Amino acid sequence: MNMSKRLISIAAAKVPRPLRIIFNPPPVSNAADAKIYSTIVAALIAEIRPRSFREWLLLKDIADFDWAIRQLRLFKTAIVESYEPKTSLAPLLALPPVPPGTRDPMWDMLDRVLPPRGTPIERQTEL
């Protein structure tokens, strides 16, 4: 059963026959998503109870926008979870302290750039 038939089988009784064409095909990528989208449409129909053509179009837009927002949230989560820093500061932070008077100018630069030894590096979680 293809996605558009799956949508009709779930919500067809509630969508007037002349308006079914605007609900097909659903903006989904697979049959499991079509079932979720159909559930959203059925819930919106029950809540809004559209009577005019304009109300049906608005209901369709609300369902599509809700679906798009859900997809964007999934993409955002996938991007955040897949992020890994390309370099680690751990090897540099593990270097032993240099005795006073034997410092190379490079150490001074590293001290200005790196946090003090023993300070945990906190990852920022704001996006």
pLDDT tens for each residue of 88-108: 666 766 777 766 667 677 767
Q: What is the mean pLDDT of residues 32-46?
A: 87
Residue 12 falls inside a structural domain: yes
- DSSP state letter for 12: T
Q: How far apart are CA 118 and CA 111, in angstroms?
A: 13
Given pLDDT bands bounded at 50, 70 and 90, which one contains residue 120?
low
Q: How far apart are CA 12 and CA 83, in angstroms?
A: 42
User: 32, 1 in Cβ contact below 8 A?
Assistant: no
Residue 10 falls inside a structural domain: yes
Mean pLDDT of all residues in the chain? Answer: 75
Residue 111 falls inside a structural domain: no
Q: At what angle do helices 3-11 and 31-48 cross, to 10 degrees?
A: 30
Residue 93 falls inside a structural domain: no
pLDDT at residue 37, rounded to an integer? 87
Residue 13 falls inside a structural domain: yes
Domain ranges, residue 40: 3-82
The region of weakest confidence among 24-28, 75-79, 85-89 is 85-89
How many distinct structural domains can be found in the chain?
Answer: 1
Taking 3-state DSSP, the helix, strand and coil percentages for the chain, each rounded to the nearest 5, stand at 60, 0, 40
Q: What is the mean pLDDT of residues 28-35?
A: 81
Give residues with Cβ within 8 angstroms of 43, minimum separation 6: none
Residue 19 falls inside a structural domain: yes
pLDDT at residue 57, rounded to an integer? 92
Of these ranges, 19-28, 34-43, 47-56, the one predicted with the greatest mean pLDDT is 47-56
Residue 31 falls inside a structural domain: yes
* pLDDT: which is higher, 83 or 117: 83
Q: What is the mean pLDDT of residues 44-72?
A: 92
